[in-house]
Every structure is written in structure tokens, then in C-alpha cells.
Chain A
């Protein structure tokens, strides 16, 4: 375990479904992130939360909706996704103000059918 736990590990959903991805960190970090990793593309930042406040939304479509109820938990709510949204969704945390590296979770492999 990395200290950042993501559930579920795998998810298959239809384009009309609504689902949520969950991330929990046990490291006492104050920043959390959602990244998308697709084949042959660099890691794409989606959202940044510092001290549970959203500080970055990297032009992500509204069908992705993040939620950060506290500094240890992060959710990504999904609805009416498209097949091109199929990817590995990675959650990460860091102690942002100290500039340390990210600790990534194991990711959720999402397939939209």
C-alpha cells in the first residue's frame, strides 16, 4: 500500500451511468490531485485541492465533478461519460507547501462502454 487508497480498482460503466471514484490518503498531506492517464499521452492534471479547497480545474468537462469533503478524502463523480474517457484515473497527494513529490494511489481503470 502506498498510503493513498483508491477504489474501485476497475470500473466498467455505460455512458448513461453515474458512478464515483474514491480516494483516501493516510499520510497527513494537505494537497490532493486527480490525474488522467491515457495511452500515449502524458499524465493530465484534472483537479487540485489544497487544504480541501479547489485551486485548479484544468479545463475538465463538467461530466467530471470532484468533491473534497476533508483533506484526507477526494471523490470524482462521473456522469454521462464518453468512450474516450476510458483511462486510468490516478489520485495523488503531497505536502504541497514543502514541494515534496506526489504519492500516487494505484488508480482506477475506467472503461466506458
Chain B
């Protein structure tokens, strides 16, 4: 069945270091979304990418959608303690109704001050 995989599962960085998480889908996606969940919180929508090769930036966060629309990455420059949390990617579930998403397991980021 359709799978969305994320690596790494965990990442520990020193504050100020960069961080990247990768998302790979077993199927071509019409779009990909990224969410952040702080410890003890709920997922919060960050961004949606739609076009092949698309790159979007939000301050220190850079999101990229692969040319084949099967992979994506999130890069954080100069991490801060406020970046701590789990980052999820999600794409439309194949054969599902509109809005039905399949999520990756997430990458848990910890930042040492």
C-alpha cells in the first residue's frame, strides 16, 4: 500500500546547527504538506507545496518538493530551542476522498542550548 516515510526518526542538534528532514512517498503526490507538533501539543500546519521542484521559505525554514513529486525536504538554518518538536509530512491518500491525508511518522527534533 501507499507509504510516506520520513528520515531520520530522531535528530539531536546543538543550538545554531542546521537540521534537515526528508520525506519520501511510494507514489507521486499532487501536493505535500508539512506540520509541526510541539511536545504535548497538536500538529500545526506549516506549508503546502504543489509544483514540481517548488521551493518555499519561511524565515529559517526552507521547504522543497522534488522534481518527481515523490519526495520533499524541510531544512532549518541555525536551529533555536523554539524549533523543538516533531515535524510531519503528509500527502493525499491514493484513492481517498478529498482532504484524506497520509502522514509520515515524523522526525523528532531536539535542540541542545
A: which residues have CB within 8 A of B? Answer: 2, 31, 33, 40-43, 45, 48, 50, 55-56, 90, 94, 96-97, 99-107
Contacts and interface: CB of A to CB of B under 8 A. Distances in A.
Contacts of B104: 42
Interface residues of B, number: 28
A31 B43 contact: no
B91 to A, nearest CB: 11
B88 interface: yes
B100 interface: yes
Contacts of B4: 42
Nearest to B104: A42
B101 A102 contact: yes
B41 interface: yes
A2 B97 contact: no
B79 interface: no
B95 to A, nearest CB: 10
Contacts of A107: 42
Given A99-B98, A102-B35, 20 more contacts: A31-B98, A31-B99, A42-B4, A42-B88, A42-B104, A43-B103, A45-B100, A45-B102, A50-B98, A55-B98, A96-B97, A97-B98, A99-B30, A99-B50, A100-B48, A101-B48, A102-B99, A104-B42, A104-B44, A106-B41
Interface string B72-90: 0000000000000000101
Nearest to A94: B99
Given A101-B33, A101-B35, A102-B101, A56 B96 contact: yes
Nearest to B30: A99
B99 to A, nearest CB: 4
Interface string B12-56: 000000000000000000110101000001111111101000000
Contacts of A56: 96-97, 100
